[in-house]
């Protein structure tokens, strides 16, 4: 008879912190800390023939005072800056030439759109301020399209005083950030919003410059880092939905969004389409067999196009809601030629908590270690993607990115697949380090779902969804 009592939990263990691979030619070009890895080895794509140009040309949109500040920001890209926050993890910002091997420059007056000073008064006095601001910025982005060959990325200066025009949630479900990303993407333009109260006034300049440098390098076509220990011929797919209002008084419909990338960091693209007759259970939409087959088959085509028509040997599909029977069948039918398919639900809000105790039975000074894995069954486990992470510190000791609070684990549930469940959880943990729009050592959720969720919110605001893949960098 087992000695376990009814309330006993199974044994837990810790997964090794995933390493990232960077750009130096030797086998030592790995690090658990992405910023330290960039300084030591340079970005992963630095040796690519078709990589990022030596100069990243930046176009600008903004009022005169904001244009002057953005020119100063461009100069700051080459300044060494010591961090004021997160110094245990965050190294000095080294300047973009040293950290990335590229040099940002202003593209020149031909790619500068100076907004009139009266725009602020027009926005604040308008009955619908978001309409006035959105129209002005859309016209500016469209005007820049005429000089598209003269720049790589557009900086848009956003004054904090315009905040009344940033959102409208009653009539239009408007979000200025998502709207501008959608407009830029529809024209093939990567935009970077420069807010006066964040990018320009935030007190930790090292954090700002690290974030902007990584984002700028990625938006110009580069790959900062990739996962080190992912099996080759693996494809990752993240699926999320967004509800979109129809043009009449009828029901809303869903935008299904899937983003795809491989173990080498290439092919980071996504597809989206309007899905009619979507079933909604509670607040969550679910696709039919045909709808899921369509989006997975298109995702597989993205991978094949990047690999000379070859198929992946393994496909891992992430979703933050359960896979219903028709969705499972649609996925498996679309991936019938793939050797190994795993359909995995990743839940962030689980209600579980855990804390660490020392050998004396006292609560430890740091939370549960990141990477702690507690199986709940053969296809279900708790995975702590947040927690103590001494592996990324610069001076030794513990490190908890969130700083305070008790981290909750992710609930990982496999709805289809037969591979090693520990490998699946290890890959999921690794994918929390793949956000190229961040300077932190990890995110709480894997990038498959982080990106798919952000992309779905943006594409639902696009005036038209074309039936072709979009590069993710246009939406970052």
Mean pLDDT by 10-residue block, N- to C-terminus, for the chain (476 residues)? 55 91 84 96 85 91 96 96 94 96 92 96 96 97 94 97 93 90 91 95 96 95 90 90 66 74 71 78 84 92 88 94 96 96 95 83 86 92 95 91 91 94 94 92 93 86 75 86
Sign of the torsion angle spanned by Cα atoms 239, 242, 246, 249: positive
Q: What is the pLDDT of residue 370?
A: 95
Q: How many CA atoms lie within 13 A of 400 on its CB side?
A: 15
Distances (CA, A) of 153 to 64, 111, 436: 19, 10, 16
Q: What is the pLDDT of residue 8?
A: 61
CB 42 within 8 A of CB 60: no
Q: 115 and 198 share a domain?
A: yes
Across 32-109, the runs of DSSP E, i.e. the strands, are 55-63, 103-106
Q: Read off the DSSP letter of residue 382.
A: E
Q: 200 and 233 share a domain?
A: no
Q: What is the pLDDT of residue 12?
A: 84
CB 279 within 8 A of CB 286: yes
Q: 273 and 196 share a domain?
A: no
Where among 219, 250, 279 does a domain terminate?
Answer: 219
Q: What is the pLDDT of residue 132?
A: 97
In a domain, 8, yes or no: no
* Alpha carbon distance 327, 324 (integer Å): 5
Structure-token match 């000073």, residue found: 117
Q: 64 and 195 share a domain?
A: yes
Q: What is the pLDDT of residue 361?
A: 79
Q: 303 and 373 share a domain?
A: yes
Q: What is the pLDDT of residue 248?
A: 57
Where among 185, 201, 219 does a domain terminate?
Answer: 219
Number of separate domains in the chain: 2
Instruction: Say what the pTM is.
Output: 0.92
In a domain, 295, yes or no: yes
Q: 423 and 274 share a domain?
A: yes
- Angle (nearest 5°) at CA 352 between 6 and 326: 95
In a domain, 396, yes or no: yes
- Domain extent, residue 108, equals 52-219
Q: 368 and 411 share a domain?
A: yes
* Alpha carbon distance 426, 433 (integer Å): 12
Q: What is the pLDDT of residue 358?
A: 78
Q: 351 and 208 share a domain?
A: no
Residue 295's closest CA among 473, 476, 475, 467? 467
Q: 171 and 236 share a domain?
A: no
Residue 133's closest CA among 96, 160, 99? 160
Residue 385's closest CA among 438, 446, 342? 446
Q: What is the pLDDT of residue 1?
A: 40
* Alpha carbon distance 127, 122 (integer Å): 10
């Amino acid at each position: 008879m087992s000695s376990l009592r009814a309330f006993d939990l199974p044994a837990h263990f810790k997964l090794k912190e995933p390493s990232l691979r960077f750009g130096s030619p030797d086998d030592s070009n790995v690090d658990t800390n992405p910023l330290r890895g960039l300084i030591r080895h340079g970005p992963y794509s630095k040796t690519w023939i078709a990589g990022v140009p030596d100069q990243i040309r930046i176009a600008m949109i903004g009022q005169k005072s904001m244009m002057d500040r953005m020119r100063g920001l461009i100069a700051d890209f080459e300044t060494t800056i010591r961090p004021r926050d997160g110094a245990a993890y965050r190294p000095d910002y080294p300047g973009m030439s040293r950290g990335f091997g590229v040099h940002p420059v202003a593209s020149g007056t031909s790619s500068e759109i100076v907004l009139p000073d009266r725009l602020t008064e027009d926005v604040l006095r308008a009955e619908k301020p978001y309409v006035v601001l959105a129209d002005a910025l859309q016209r500016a982005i469209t005007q820049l399209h005429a000089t598209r060959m003269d720049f790589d990325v557009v900086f848009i200066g956003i004054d904090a005083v315009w905040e009344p025009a940033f959102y409208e949630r009653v009539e239009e479900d408007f979000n200025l950030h998502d709207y501008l990303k959608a407009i830029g993407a529809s024209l093939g333009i990567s935009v970077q919003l420069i807010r006066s109260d964040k990018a320009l006034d935030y007190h930790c300049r090292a954090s700002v410059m690290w974030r902007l440098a990584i984002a700028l390098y990625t938006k110009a076509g580069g790959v900062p880092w990739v996962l080190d220990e992912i099996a080759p011929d693996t494809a990752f797919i993240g699926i999320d939905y967004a509800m979109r209002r129809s043009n009449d008084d009828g029901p809303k419909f869903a935008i299904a969004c899937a983003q795809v990338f491989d173990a080498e960091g290439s092919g980071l693209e996504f597809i989206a389409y309007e899905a009619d007759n979507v079933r909604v259970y509670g607040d969550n939409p679910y696709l039919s067999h045909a709808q899921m087959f369509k989006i997975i088959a298109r995702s597989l085509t993205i991978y094949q196009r990047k690999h000379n028509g070859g198929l992946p040997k393994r496909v891992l599909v992430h979703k933050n809601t359960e896979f219903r029977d028709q969705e499972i069948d649609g996925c498996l039918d679309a991936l019938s030629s793939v050797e190994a398919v795993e359909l995995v639900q990743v839940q962030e809000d689980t209600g579980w908590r855990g804390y660490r105790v020392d050998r004396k039975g006292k609560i430890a000074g740091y939370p549960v270690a990141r990477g702690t894995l507690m199986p709940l069954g053969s296809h279900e486990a708790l995975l702590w993607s947040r927690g103590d992470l001494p592996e990324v510190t610069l001076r030794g000791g513990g490190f908890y990115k969130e700083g305070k609070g008790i981290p909750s684990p992710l609930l990982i549930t496999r709805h289809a697949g037969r591979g090693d469940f520990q490998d699946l959880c290890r890959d999921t943990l690794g994918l929390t380090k793949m956000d190229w729009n961040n300077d932190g050592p990890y995110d709480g959720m894997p990038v498959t779902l982080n990106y798919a969720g952000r992309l779905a919110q943006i594409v639902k605001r696009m005036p038209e969804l074309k039936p072709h893949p979009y590069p993710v960098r246009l939406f970052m």
